Amino acid sequence: MLSINQFFLLIAGLLTFGITLFVYRGKRDAVRQSFLLMGAGFSLWNISLVLMQIMKTPILVDFIFFISIFHFGGLLLFAKTFPQHSGTLPKRYYLYLAPMALLLAVTLPFNLLVEKVIFHPDGSLEPVNGPAFIFFVITASGYIAASLFLIIKKFKLAKGIMKEQLKYLFLGLGASFFIVFIADILLPALGIFKLNILGAASPVIFIGFTAHAIVRHRFMDIEVIIQRGLLYLGTVSAAAVVYFLSIFTIEEVFRKTFETVPLLSAIFAAFAVVIGFPYFKEWFNKTTNHFFFRGSYNYYDVAKALSRALASTLDFKKLFYSLEKIFGYNLKINKFLFLSINSSGLLQSLKNTNFSLKNIDASDFKNLKNFFTLSREPIIYEELKYQDADFEIKNLLKKLDAGAALPIFSKSRLRAVFILGPKLSEESFSDKDIELLNVFSHQAGTALENIGLYKKIKDYSGELEKKVEKRTSELKQLYDSQSKFLFDISHELQTPISIAKGNLELLSKKENFKKSSGLKTLGVIDKTLDKMSLLVSNLLSLARIDFNQNKLAGKPVRLNNLLDELYDDCQILAENKKITFHLKKIGNAVVLGDREMLRELFLNLISNALKYTDAGGKIEIILVKENSYATIKISDTGRGIAKEDLPRIFERFYKSSVNKSNIDSTGLGLAICRQIAKLHGGSISVKSEPGKGSDFIVKLPVYQKLL
């Protein structure tokens, strides 16, 4: 019946053989052929050790040494061909097996390697080395040294996936050698021989890692494997230390007092391990991260950073800069190329950092577009070497020296392609990297769609703004021309009216004309000319205000003085109509503007108040300075304004129902007042009720420097 050690070694041998056949069933290339030799050698070695212990047949010792041709020679051939070798294993390579084969051919028939094997009753065996055993050790060491030299040399020159494959090879070798050192060297030196079997079974670890490196071309980060291994090894070791230390302490302290100390100590130790295991695990995780993986990145943090960058701006330049920063810092990349679909449906370079496009033409990008139209998955250049991919795509990425290319779709349409350079560390893109690129590729489509819409709106707004500016300029020119025409024609009309009035006045003074009936007719004509003169005068004022709307050369005007003058001038008119007339000033107010225009503004309002207020009425002018504005209110107790007339009272040529009575009006006075107030940065408003009078309120900004 098999012992535990024999069973364990047999399982290791069968597992090694199964892994070897699994790898070899694929392509029959040089790498797999050399791997078959090596794996078969290790497998037969394990199985032969088990058979020798069971059968106790010395001849199996010679077979075990004969098998060494395969695992040592296979290791050297594998180091020579791995990770890439086109075609099958060249026949000349089998000459590498010759040194070991020649040594065994000379020594085995004469028992020069092992003179005899002593089988002990406990099942262990003790080989007695022969005189040539040292030559076997030297030859085997030479094979191992040559293999390590080739692997290390290739690792220094390797890039991308080749480097990742060699890392797995080193990891498997390191783990196997570590177990051999512990089980066959360190523990035997301490007098512990029960775990020797682990050293013999350790090649299965190397075979497993190597098989993974051959078969898979997209790897989990090697650092993750190391991290997890260190994490669980450290945690288990700490738990074991706590367990045994607890048992030892309890037994030493309570051994003389309690008979059940072993049971109690075991229970207590187990309880301590269960409680402390999560804390040990967390501590070891932080420790290994701090010392071994400072350069790695957190996938979720980077994914969130990319999402924020895509959502935080509608400016493509800012977005590209953010992507450069995020990918450059975390994936260690310094080359970026963004290709967008132009109006002709072709890919063109929109933003480029460190890529050379000298040997790239439009047809290359056209092939890339066609490729992504059919396949929406990112391209990893290192993986194309192991696939029957489109030659043009391989050639394009090779000419660009690109590491990856990502399609960006929006609404099922290819919008852009984002090309990244290779990693500066010369490592290939890991599973984590590719998943991150996939997530970014899917999110970027929406961001580009938003940027495109924003650009269209911005361009349309710019065009609309230009059209508005052009139309405004045209309207201004038309308005200026109209104002100038009105100004000119008003000026021209004023002259003949003045001449006509002068001649009428001379005519009325003649003696013979005074006695005729024509004197009454002259009065009617004179009155008509006065109306025409007032109309022309108002038109002239309005035209002058419009024409100088943006050319007001303002000077400080003291409103207190101006209103005093107007009050004195109009006082006699109020007395003649038996109207009470008051002026009230609260504070000193200075405004910046045209004194004559302001005089015309207030004179028009006072004249209207006198015109529409009957005898016995009251007119009051109130000046109040409030913060940065001066408020001038002109109130009367006259006829008032109808409610329906109030909204249009300041329109040009508009006459209220009051003005349609027997009171002459041109309909331009209040329009002039509003334009003057507006020209000075102020406003004018009215409050009125029919039969109760009106309040006209003018607000003008105060000139602060003189206050």
Beta strands 683-689 and 693-701 are: antiparallel
Q: Name the least confident of 72-86, 243-257, 446-460, 654-668.
A: 243-257
What is the C-alpha separation between 623 and 637, in angstroms, rounded? Answer: 18
Tell me which amino acid residue 387 is. Q
User: DSSP class of residue 185?
Assistant: I
Contacts of 438 (CB under 8 A, 6+ apart): 377, 378
Q: What integer best gives the mean pLDDT of the chain?
A: 77
Residue with tokens 């494959």: 165
Residue 500 has pLDDT above 70, yes or no: no
**Residue scoring higher pLDDT (661 or 653):** 653
Length of the chain: 707
CATH fold of 555-706 reads Heat Shock Protein 90 (3.30.565)
The reported pLDDT for the residue numbered 540 is 59
Residue 291 has pLDDT above 50, yes or no: no
Residue 460's pLDDT band (cuts 50, 70, 90): low
**Phi-psi domain of 111 (left: phi exceeds 0; alpha: psi -120 through 50; beta: other):** left
Angle subtended at Cα 358 by Cα 357 and Cα 363, rounded to the nearest 5 degrees: 70
**Residue scoring higher pLDDT (152 or 262):** 152
Q: What is the tens place of the pLDDT at every residue in 428-459?
A: 787 788 888 888 888 887 777 776 655 666 66
Q: What is the tens place of the pLDDT at every residue in 633-651?
A: 999 999 888 888 888 888 8
Residue 51's pLDDT band (cuts 50, 70, 90): confident
Query: Of 97-101, 127-131, 300-304, which one has max mean pLDDT?
Result: 97-101
Residue 697 has pLDDT above 70, yes or no: yes
Tokens at 263, concatenated: 């049971």
Query: Of 457-461, 498-502, 580-584, which one has max mean pLDDT?
Result: 580-584
Tokens at 178, concatenated: 């570590």
Q: Is residue 354 a contact partner of residue 364, using CB atoms and an 8 Å limit?
A: no
The residue-averaged pLDDT of 8-22 equals: 88
- Which residue ranges make up each domain of the chain? 4-216, 555-706
Q: What is the percentage of the chain residues whose pLDDT exceeds 90?
A: 17
Tell me which amino acid residue 238 is. A
Tokens at 583, concatenated: 């002026």
Question: How many Cα atoms within 13 Å fall on the side-chain side of residue 419?
Answer: 30
Q: What is the tens place of the pLDDT at every residue in 467-494?
A: 778 887 777 766 665 555 555 555 555 5
CATH superfamily of 4-216: Rhodopsin 7-helix transmembrane proteins (1.20.1070.10)
Q: Name the least confident of 79-88, 94-103, 483-492, 621-630.
A: 483-492
Q: What is the tens place of the pLDDT at every residue in 232-277?
A: 555 555 555 555 556 556 555 555 555 544 555 555 555 555 566 5
User: DSSP class of residue 430?
Assistant: -
Q: Name the least confident of 42-51, 171-180, 274-283.
A: 274-283
Q: Name the least confident of 116-130, 219-233, 490-504, 589-603.
A: 219-233
Helix (H) or strand (E) holding 483: helix 431-509
Residue 693's pLDDT band (cuts 50, 70, 90): very high
Query: Of 491-505, 525-539, 658-672, which one has max mean pLDDT?
Result: 658-672
Q: Name the least confident of 123-127, 168-172, 422-426, 700-704.
A: 123-127
The reported pLDDT for the residue numbered 366 is 83
What is the C-alpha separation between 550 and 571, in angstroms, rounded? Answer: 35
Beta strands 125-129 and 114-119 are: antiparallel
The residue-averaged pLDDT of 292-314 equals: 74
**Residue scoring higher pLDDT (459 or 7):** 7
What is the C-alpha separation between 135 and 263, in angstroms, rounded? Answer: 54
The reported pLDDT for the residue numbered 630 is 94
The residue-averaged pLDDT of 342-361 equals: 80
Q: Is residue 699 a contact partner of residue 630, using CB atoms and an 8 Å limit?
A: yes
Q: Are domains 4-216 and 555-706 of this chain identical in fold?
A: no
Residue 125's pLDDT band (cuts 50, 70, 90): low
Residue 102's pLDDT band (cuts 50, 70, 90): very high
Residue 524 has pLDDT above 70, yes or no: no
Q: Is residue 414 a contact partner of residue 407, using CB atoms and an 8 Å limit?
A: yes
